[in-house]
Amino acid sequence: MFNKDATDNSTYNVENYEFIKKTSPIVGSLIEQEYNRQKNNIELIASENYCSEAVLAACGSCLSWKYAEGYPYVRTSGNTSRYYGGTKFVDELEEYCCDTWRKVFNTDYHVNVQPHSGSQANFAAYKAILNPGDTILSLTLDNGGHLTHGSSVNFSGKLYNMAFYDVDEKGFIDMEDVRRKALEIKPKLILTGASAYSRIIDFPKFAEIAKEVGAYFMVDMAHIAGLVAGGVHPSPFGYADIVTTTTHKTLRGPRGGLIFARPELAKKIDSAVFPYAQGGPLEHVIAGKAVCAEEALTPEYKEYTKQVVANCAAFCDEFIKMGYNVVTGGTDNHLFLLDLSEFPFSGKDLQDRLDEVGITLNKNCVPNEKRSPKETSGVRIGTAPMTTRGYKEDDFREVARKIDAVVKEMVEEA
């Protein structure tokens, strides 16, 4: 949407909020202000991106008001299983969306495109194969995991018996610890995937351990899905029983979730999404997901993902050259973590100060975290959004130096 010089030749968004302002000046004005913030800030939040105008238009289409509880006709051998009439075209749309996502990941897995979010996808995936109280072995939040991977304040930690594997002293997932704990506790599900882990995950080894202990193996690839689609990260397909993802991070789509599963789990997955966890699917968002899938199949998208990874490596290396402690000592994907444990301020302090100068990132826990999750001893930095805006390696090196200048000011003030 925006190029790196913060200019914008499109008119779609401008016309959109101007139109809204005619009916609701307050809402339109707030959207305009957020639009300008996104246009002028340097966006480094690893879980965000800019989607295309085609995706935005699909999400704002007439599908916004169409109810379609249930599933398309193909899933019931020719008879629609919707609970509403008038679904001929959304049936075709939803099946097309499913088929296109299978092409994106070159898989014959069953796919459900209805989850409203990645958290909803994980909720339904657990329900499909687990009972409350069953044991899940996963990565902790402090070590890069997600809230839905067993946090005590989340449904995952409240409904299931959680056990956690650790990272080693360098911050890498400790596969020996994974195997040792799996053999000891015999979990029903082994889960991997992360919201703040910068290295390649060994999917074959996880699958081997899961098979050894008779557990299901699930991958939450929300962060790396775009890199998998672009061929710059190993794929979990063929190894995992279930794969979940969001569509709005490295995939550059709308806010939403997907579930992929081995065909024998299809009925359980679909039932867990509807009617168990959700009502009517958001067909306008499913339309956006379909456009996103089409975009992910293009050569341009594959070049984009290569640039995301190259940019992240250059960005990360610049911080290392300046003497910063980067968790794991580097990155293999679209993000990395700065460990600020030795600095006289928290990750939140740096996040807030950078907001003041137009650089957006987020505080994040680091391995062996000593501060609270509200403060943290680190920050998470991602390259997907600004790569969409045309940034290359030298641009990110310059941003690293800008952040360093802010850090030095904060140290002097402490």
Phi then psi for 24, rounded to 5 degrees? -135, 90
**Residue from 32, 48, 69, 95 carrying the catalytic annotation:** 69
**Residue from 179, 188, 199, 255 carrying the catalytic annotation:** 255
Tens place of pLDDT per residue across the chain (414 aa): 667 655 444 444 556 788 899 999 999 999 999 999 999 999 999 999 999 999 999 999 999 999 999 999 655 555 668 989 999 999 999 999 999 999 999 999 999 999 999 999 999 999 999 999 999 999 988 888 999 998 999 999 999 999 999 999 999 999 999 999 999 999 999 999 999 999 999 999 999 999 999 999 999 999 999 999 999 999 999 999 999 999 999 999 999 999 999 999 999 999 999 999 999 999 999 999 999 999 999 999 999 999 999 999 999 999 999 999 999 999 999 999 999 999 999 999 999 999 999 999 999 999 989 999 899 999 999 999 999 999 999 999 999 999 999 999 999 998
pLDDT at 17 (0 to 100)? 83
Tell me the C-alpha distance between 196 and 228, whole Å.
Answer: 16
What angle do helix axes 393-413 and 299-321 make, rounded to 10 degrees? Answer: 40
Asked if 174 is an active-site residue, the reply is: no
Block residue for tokens 């193909």: 74
Buried b (16+ CB within 10 A) or exposed e, 390-412: ebebebbbebbeebeeebeebee
Asked if 394 is an active-site residue, the reply is: no
Asked if 249 is an active-site residue, the reply is: yes
Asked if 67 is an active-site residue, the reply is: yes
**Residue from 66, 249, 252, 380 carrying the catalytic annotation:** 249
Report pTM. 0.95
Helix, strand or coil, per DSSP, at residue 283: helix
Quick count: other Cβ atoms within 10 Å of Cβ 370?
Answer: 10
**Residue from 8, 12, 21, 67 carrying the catalytic annotation:** 67
Quick count: other Cβ atoms within 10 Å of Cβ 7?
Answer: 8
Tell me the C-alpha distance between 253 and 248, whole Å.
Answer: 4
Tell me the C-alpha distance between 206 and 17, whole Å.
Answer: 47
The single-letter code of the amino acid at 410 is M
Phi then psi for 112, rounded to 5 degrees? -115, 120
Asked if 376 is an active-site residue, the reply is: no
Can you say how many angstroms the Cα of residue 235 is from the centroid of all Cα atoms in its chain? 15
Q: What is the dihedral of CA 157, 240, 337, 178, to 10 degrees?
A: 70
Asked if 300 is an active-site residue, the reply is: no
Residue 333 near residue 227, CB atoms below 8 Å: yes
**Residue from 220, 270, 317, 318 carrying the catalytic annotation:** 220
**Residue from 246, 247, 250, 387 carrying the catalytic annotation:** 246
